[in-house]
Chain A
Amino acid sequence: MTNAVVSLQNAKKSFGANQVLKDISLTVQQGDVLAIIGPSGGGKSTLLRCMTLLETLDDGSLSYGDLEVCRRQNGRAVYGGKDVLAKAKGRFGLVFQNFNLFPHYTVLKNITDPLVSVQKMPRPEAEARAVELLAKMGLSGKEAMVPCELSGGQQQRVAIARALAMNPDVLFFDEPTSALDPELTREVLKVIRDLASEHMTMVIVTHEMSFARDVADRIIFMDGGVIVEQGPAEQLINNPQHNRTRAFLSNYTQG
């Protein structure tokens, strides 16, 4: 348990009277590829946002490796100080549905600026890393362009490179292909597949069921703020145990 890359225990989160997360626990081990599926409003995104510190938990505990980000105390989540949160942010990366690249920076600077400004890496080293990652993403030669000159799929690959450059222990994806058409979706999924084959630890919220089955080791099905079912990817997609999972999956043509 202690050497889990991420450990979330008994997470609860409400927006007003609406409880979005109802006692969720999950751990991610080194090299795991975990997919989270489920209907909209089921709590997937909120779960991801709590784990990436964009939202705070009402109750529960969250750790990145040996770093305790928040702990349970008297039925509340108590967060660590600024330095703890800053350190935690160095351990994960997040790829957004809408890419959220910085439009006024070039592709290269989108990747190097966080390295230089946050990690205080010397600029030449940051640039070398960015160039290398862009090559890996199939984006060599795009360094000097600005995001608006790229297709959605290219922008998303820059966003993945930006997250990878920070050398995170785990990479989160929040519906990384939902803003893309099928052709562009394919090129982004290919990049994620490549990362999986390199044993990058990843947590992927997705609506691409066949992709989830192929690339993930484990799938979690979330609905109504709870984990309804989880298990090995093949098994959960091809042979779901719960009615809700079955009903949800039947909405997708299985490929």
Chain B
Amino acid sequence: MEFGVMMGILLDGLQLTVLIFFVTLLGALPLGVVVALARMSRFKPLSLVAQFYISILRGTPLMLQLMAIMFGPYYLFGLEMGTDWKFGACAIGFILNYAAYFAEIYRSGIQSIPRGQYEAASVLGYTKAQTFMKIVLPQVIKRILPAMGNEIITLVKDTSLAFVLGIMEMFNAAKALAAREVSMVPYAIAALIYWLFCLLIEFVMNKIEKRLDYYHD
């Protein structure tokens, strides 16, 4: 097979990889805030549910979770989900899983904000929502950037798990090419592309860190 054709197939796969990546971030970044706030709630039942959620999603393999969401509707309820369900299952699985990890990162950041910040905001008359959105969250973001960078880079590589659902993302494409061509070259190229993707993320994270470098506390 021509190199150009092979690259074409891998880059088609990359499009799906990138799609899974962004859909996951779009869903899991805000959902993680909700889970973190639930986890820290003084209302015990809510906190326990959130703890349980985090424990299950961190404590079982993502691959298994993807399969459970993919096949669960059929085996549990006899629902026929159609062939496009794999994309839905993939998105849901990744978002739920990453929200659990993000939630714990948010929590570490939120709990590191000194109590004095809340007290100053309270005395000045900020509402709870204003205090969180204007005072706490911006400071949390700066504090959790390194941990977030770590997790987001892990996500780049985790997208390859979508292959278990038969989604032709880049890893699956490389696997198919490798089998057909009896060659390791497609894997090597895929590895290089994953790495470049991660370099790009490192670059972006560094930019954001620099931008927030204007203050320290």
Contacts and interface: CB of A to CB of B under 8 A. Distances in A.
Interface stretch (A60-68, A113-121, A134-142, A212-220): A113-121
Contacts of A117: 126, 130, 134
A54 B217 CA distance: 23
A89 to B, nearest CB: 4
A89 B124 contact: yes
Contacts of A92: 123
Interface residues of A, number: 26
Nearest to A87: B125
A119 B142 CA distance: 28
Contacts of B122: 53-54, 89
B141 to A, nearest CB: 9
B124 A166 contact: yes
Contact of A103 (B123, B125, B216): B216
A100 B134 contact: no
Contacts of A166: 124-125
Contacts of B125: 86, 89-90, 114, 118-119, 166
B135 interface: yes
Contacts of B135: 102
B126 A118 contact: yes
Contacts of B120: 96, 100-102
Nearest to A146: B215
B88 interface: no
User: Do most interface residues of chain A lie in helix, strand or loop, or is the interface mixed?
Assistant: loop
Interface in A38-95: 52-54, 86, 89-90, 92-94
B215 A148 contact: yes
B126 A104 contact: no
B38 to A, nearest CB: 23
User: Do most interface residues of chain B lie in helix, strand or loop, or is the interface mixed?
Assistant: helix
Interface string B99-140: 000000000000000101101101111100010001100110
Nearest to B117: A100
A103 B139 contact: yes
A103 B116 contact: no
B214 interface: yes
Which of the listed residues B120, B134, B138 has the most CB atoms from chain A within 10 Å of its own CB?
Answer: B120
B142 A54 contact: no
A147 interface: yes
Given A117-B130, A146-B214, A54 B123 contact: yes
B142 A98 contact: no
Contacts of A114: 124-126
A97 to B, nearest CB: 9
Contacts of A93: 123
Nearest to A54: B119
Contacts of A113: 134
Interface in B168-194: none
A158 to B, nearest CB: 12
A141 B138 CA distance: 25
Contacts of A104: 138-139, 142, 215
Contacts of A119: 125
B215 A147 contact: yes
Contacts of A89: 122-125
B126 to A, nearest CB: 6
Nearest to B138: A104
Contact of B217 (A52, A53, A103, A118): A103
The 4 A-B residue pairs with the shortest CB-CB distance in the complex, in nearest-first order: A100-B120, A103-B217, A100-B116, A118-B125
11 contacts: A96-B116, A96-B119, A102-B120, A103-B139, A104-B138, A104-B215, A119-B125, A147-B215, A147-B217, A148-B216, A166-B124
Interface of B: 114, 116-117, 119-120, 122-126, 130, 134-135, 138-139, 142, 214-217
Given A52-B123, A96-B116, 12 more contacts: A54-B119, A89-B122, A90-B125, A96-B120, A98-B116, A103-B216, A104-B215, A114-B124, A117-B126, A118-B124, A147-B215, A166-B125
